[in-house]
Amino acid sequence: MKMQQFLQFFTQQLTHWRRQCKALRRKGKLIRSPKGKSHRSELLRTMFKNVLLFLSKTNEKSSGIARRRHCRKQERALKSKAKLVKTKSSIYVVGLDWAHKQRYSVILAIAIVSLTGVIGYKLYNQTQLQVGHLAPQTITAPYTASIEDQKKTEAERQAVSNSSLQMLMVDAATNEQINKNLQQLLDDGNKIRAVAGAFPFFDPVVLSISTQRYLRSCVDSEWQALLVAIENTKNQQKKGTGQTAASSGSSSIAAPNQQRQPRTTPQKSDSQSLPVKPQPVDFSQNSDFIQAVAELESYRVTTSEKNLSLLIAQISQVRPRYTQATAKLLQLETVSSKAIYEESLLLDLLDEEWEKTKMGIHQSSERILTQGIPQGLPKNILEDAVSLQLQTFVPESSETLAKNLLLTVLKPNLQKDEEQTRQNAQKAAAGVPRVMVKVRYGEVIVKKGEQISAWNFEVLEYYHLIRRQVKWQELVKLGSFIAIAIGIFVWVERHINYELRQRDRLLVLLLTLSVPAVITMGLPYTTWSALGLLLGSFYGPTLGLTVVGLLSLILAISLEMSKAALLAGAGGAILGSYIAQRLRSREELALLGIAIALTQGSIYLVVKILIGQAFGQGWYIVLREAALFALSGLGWSVVALGLSPYLEKVFDLVTPIRLAELANPNRPLLKRLATETPGTFQHTLFVATLAEAAAKQLGCNVELVRAGTLYHDIGKMHDPLGFIENQMGGLNKHDTEIKDPWKSAEIIKRHVTEGVVMARKHLLPTAIQAFIPEHQGTMLIAYFHHQALQMAQADPSLIVDDADFRYDGPIPQSRETGIVMLADSCEAALRSLEASAKPLGEKRSLKDVSTEQALTMLNNILRAKWQDNQLVDSGLTREQMSQIAQIFVDVWQQFHHKRIAYPKLKQIS
């Protein structure tokens, strides 16, 4: 019995010494300090004193309480011994125990082997005999078979593919330019006709179309002669001579001017020629002149002299407009250097004919462009096609004009359709039968010492005579390179604040393997975006960028893959790794997925542009691939978002998003805490505020501190009235009902064990569960311990063991849980100080006195925790204790600031 008690005590003492060693090692005094020997001797002296103390106290344990305690310890020792015997009875369990102890090395070995195996998959089944090597022996055919000559088959298929017809497609940009040019020409025609005015300008029943053309286009001499003829006819009729206006005009009118020029040609030589003596001109032989005079005379006879005068005045207005229109037409031809309207009848067309002509030109152009104009089409064929189309759509009088316009603007609009041509070529090549060669039994495939040709290699491959091997040398090189990369990863891991567990390393390995695994399946659109998004969200930008960078380098060296695809995928993964952990909602992560998709597509397109592959005829293929890369990035991001909650559960991860979800007060456990233990909930909120402020100032994980603090006292729901904050000023059950400090201490300690049970039942992350026992550590339950000491003084038979009044621990193992321990200890002191503080003098305010008292009190509390070795494993330093105390006081002051004194209202009677 004594030996069992001694062993248990010795185990506890060893744990205490281990913590002291850690503290000394952290301060550098155990190994590096020259005083290390004195510290070791001090530890040995402490050990010897504690053993003697235990032996001296053993004889004094004779009370009933001591016997019960010994029984409990004996039961625990027996269970531990049974478990130890059971464990040592199985070699298999021993092996597992060894693997568990060496799990870090095992994970590293698995990582090297798996990455080498997946990335170097092509090195497993390499042939010993290669094309160009010398045959080690004479090899004959084991049986008769027909073997395909792949080289000849490929040559014939290539020939058929090259001779296949090219597929053409209409270039929309060329069509748009043609239509734009055609519309510009027609707009020019509209402007010129608008200057000339409407045509016909008078009723064709009175003046025929030909006469109207003549009257507005004849030269001034003819027009003057015509007016004289009409005037003479009028005078003769008054004298009753009886001569007809036509004969009179034809026999007696002569105009002192030159002969009429063609109607559509402006008189450019009139202003440039030297003055000559005008000769009389006889217009009696001009049929247009005679017909115009006759029609005008007929109009005067049928109407009146006044109407004829109005008509002549209208003609006089039309003529200068026509002259101006012909001048603009000449100017247009001079500027454009193209005589598009030179020999046309643009101004002679009726308005109705011009509208039909424009519509017909558009229709003909549309049909010709739809059919397509190939490169190198002979001009006469194009002219015939245009003429054939215009015969259907334009009036006969405007065919020449329309043909001239279309031939001016039409040009080849067909270009080679690369994709369709390739598909047709592949279809044609697929239709070529394979070239089969018959190899008979015993026929020599290759003689010893001869060089192995491509055909020999195909025959040997068919008969499975190619010796295959694993290229161990290449695999070792690849494995060494991967080992170096993993070493870099390990170095980075040890220099970041985040400490990885073995399950974390396993998850990083699985996510990393997903990229080369998809590549080995032949898919270029691999899981880069999911890798960056998940690594960045789970472990932060430093670790994510390290994995992405190292993996990109390994794949670039070991695998034959598109560099544009590699850069695009790595770029998207880098973006996801860098930004993911900064986001605080799933919606923001979804937007990040869109940004990753755009990044991947843009990088792929830019790389293709830089290497010159985006400027050829296959530019649209590059655009399609860039779009596919963008879509793949978005798709894998969606997959990552869908997997994220499951991975968080399976691998027990806490991300900022999950911590924010856990800190939601509407969570079932927190709602129960607020309802069943309102005092504890208010205490929790204030502790969370204190701890969050300290964590932010010290650079800790603020989201983890906030969420962990909210759940650190959930175990108090098992007995809410056992804790003073929930008694609401009522009677304390420990003083009225229990009256046993040992039982009361058990009730207080149970809030830790019950809290862990609740946390596991509700599947809280391990990082959150750690706050429940570690926020109390192994602290002494001082109030009931003091009561027990008082009872022991009154009754010497009672023996007080400090272990009965200490929490089971463990002590805080991280800075976050250490901060919560300190905040939890200081919260009650700050509340009590607020209630008891009073002004000490007229010149000192309540705020000043409370600040001094609060800071002194908190420093004493934190010093006690430090001296009790509660923070030796937390990573917090002694210097940070004063900083934390000041932060707590500052937060307390913000909560309990001074308020103005409102005047008292008079009571209304």
* Cβ 622 vs Cβ 613: under 8 Å: yes
* Cβ 76 vs Cβ 803: under 8 Å: no
- Which structure tokens are listed for 693? 């402020």
- Could you read off the pLDDT of 176-192 as tens digits, one per residue? 888 898 888 888 888 88
* Cβ 745 vs Cβ 805: under 8 Å: yes
- The candidate with the shortest Cα–Cα distance to 578, out of 533, 514, 515, 638, is 533
What is the DSSP pairing of strand 126-127 with strand 468-469?
antiparallel
Report the alpha-carbon angle 340-342-343, nearest 5: 115
Asked whether residue 39 carries a pLDDT value surpassing 60, the answer given is no
Region of poorest pLDDT, from 22-26, 511-515, 666-670? 22-26
- Could you read off the pLDDT of 688-724 as tens digits, one per residue? 999 999 999 998 889 999 999 999 889 888 888 777 7
Look up tokens 């976050």; give the residue: 816
Residue 596: helix, strand or coil by DSSP? helix
* Cβ 462 vs Cβ 143: under 8 Å: no
Please, what is the average pLDDT of the chain? 78
The count of other CB atoms within 10 Å of the CB of residue 407 is 14
- The candidate with the shortest Cα–Cα distance to 345, out of 405, 393, 397, is 397
What residue ranges in 645-754 does DSSP mark as E strands? none
- Could you read off the pLDDT of 552-561 as tens digits, one per residue? 999 888 887 7
Residue 40: predicted pLDDT: 52
Residue 552: helix, strand or coil by DSSP? helix
Region of poorest pLDDT, from 631-635, 733-737, 784-788? 733-737
Alpha carbon distance 233, 246 (integer Å): 8
- Could you read off the pLDDT of 192-244 as tens digits, one per residue? 888 888 888 888 888 888 888 888 888 888 888 888 888 887 777 666 644 44
- Cross-strand pairs, 127: 468
* Cβ 532 vs Cβ 548: under 8 Å: yes
State the angle between helix axes of 528-539 and 563-579 in degrees (0 to 180), rounded to the nearest 10: 20
Residue 239: helix, strand or coil by DSSP? helix
- The candidate with the shortest Cα–Cα distance to 169, out of 379, 422, 426, is 422
Whole-angstrom CA distances from 119 to 478, 482, 488, 586, 590 are 9, 10, 19, 33, 30
Residue 768 pLDDT level (bands cut at 50, 70, 90) = very high
Residue 617: predicted pLDDT: 56
Look up tokens 């919560």; give the residue: 820
Alpha carbon distance 889, 896 (integer Å): 10
Burial class (CB within 10 angstroms; exposed 0-12, middle 13-18, buried 19+) of 105: exposed
Look up tokens 């940004």; give the residue: 595
What is the DSSP pairing of strand 168-170 with strand 414-416?
antiparallel
Residue 31: predicted pLDDT: 40
- Cα Rg of the chain (Å, integer): 52
Alpha carbon distance 393, 364 (integer Å): 7
**Residues 6 or more apart whose Cβ sits within 8 Å of residue 706:** 659, 663, 688, 691, 692
Residue 574: predicted pLDDT: 93
Residue 281: helix, strand or coil by DSSP? strand
Asked whether residue 10 carries a pLDDT value surpassing 70, the answer given is no
Residue 845: helix, strand or coil by DSSP? coil
What torsion do the CA atoms of 781, 785, 786, 789 make, to the nearest 10 degrees? -170
Q: Over range 453-475, report the average pLDDT.
A: 77
* Cβ 597 vs Cβ 633: under 8 Å: yes
Alpha carbon distance 571, 725 (integer Å): 55
Asked whether residue 298 carries a pLDDT value surpassing 80, the answer given is yes
Alpha carbon distance 630, 331 (integer Å): 55
Look up tokens 């190198």; give the residue: 376
Look up tokens 């939890």; give the residue: 824
Residue 148: predicted pLDDT: 82
Residue 599: predicted pLDDT: 92
- Which structure tokens are listed for 615? 């400027």
SS3 per residue for 692-703: HHHHHHHCCCHH
Phi, psi of 898 (to 5 degrees): -70, 145
Asked whether residue 170 carries a pLDDT value surpassing 80, the answer given is yes
The count of other CB atoms within 10 Å of the CB of residue 573 is 34
Q: Over range 369-375, report the average pLDDT.
A: 85
Alpha carbon distance 512, 547 (integer Å): 8
Residue 706: predicted pLDDT: 93
* Cβ 100 vs Cβ 501: under 8 Å: no
- Cross-strand pairs, 731: none
Residue 240: helix, strand or coil by DSSP? coil
Alpha carbon distance 391, 288 (integer Å): 30
Query: Which amino acid is present at 352?
Result: E
Q: Over range 118-138, report the average pLDDT.
A: 74
Asked whether residue 342 carries a pLDDT value surpassing 60, the answer given is no
Asked whether residue 595 carries a pLDDT value surpassing 90, the answer given is yes
Alpha carbon distance 727, 744 (integer Å): 15
- Could you read off the pLDDT of 845-882 as tens digits, one per residue? 444 446 777 888 888 889 988 988 888 888 888 888 98
When comparing pLDDT for 862 and 343, which is higher?
862
Asked whether residue 161 carries a pLDDT value surpassing 70, the answer given is yes
Query: Which amino acid is present at 830?
Result: L
- Listed in sequence order, the DSSP H helices in 699-781 are 702-711, 733, 741-761, 766-769, 771-774
Look up tokens 């009754």; give the residue: 795
* Cβ 607 vs Cβ 564: under 8 Å: yes
What b/e sequence results for 276-312 when a residue is b if at least 16 CB atoms lie within 10 Å of its CB, and e otherwise?
Answer: eeeeebebeebebbbbbbbbbbebbeeeeeeebeebb
**Residues 6 or more apart whose Cβ sits within 8 Å of residue 327:** 266
- The candidate with the shortest Cα–Cα distance to 483, out of 126, 105, 122, 124, is 105
* Cβ 534 vs Cβ 647: under 8 Å: yes
- Could you read off the pLDDT of 311-330 as tens digits, one per residue? 888 888 888 988 888 888 88
When comparing pLDDT for 54 and 504, which is higher?
504
Residue 547: predicted pLDDT: 93
Q: Over range 791-811, report the average pLDDT.
A: 83
- Cross-strand pairs, 139: 446
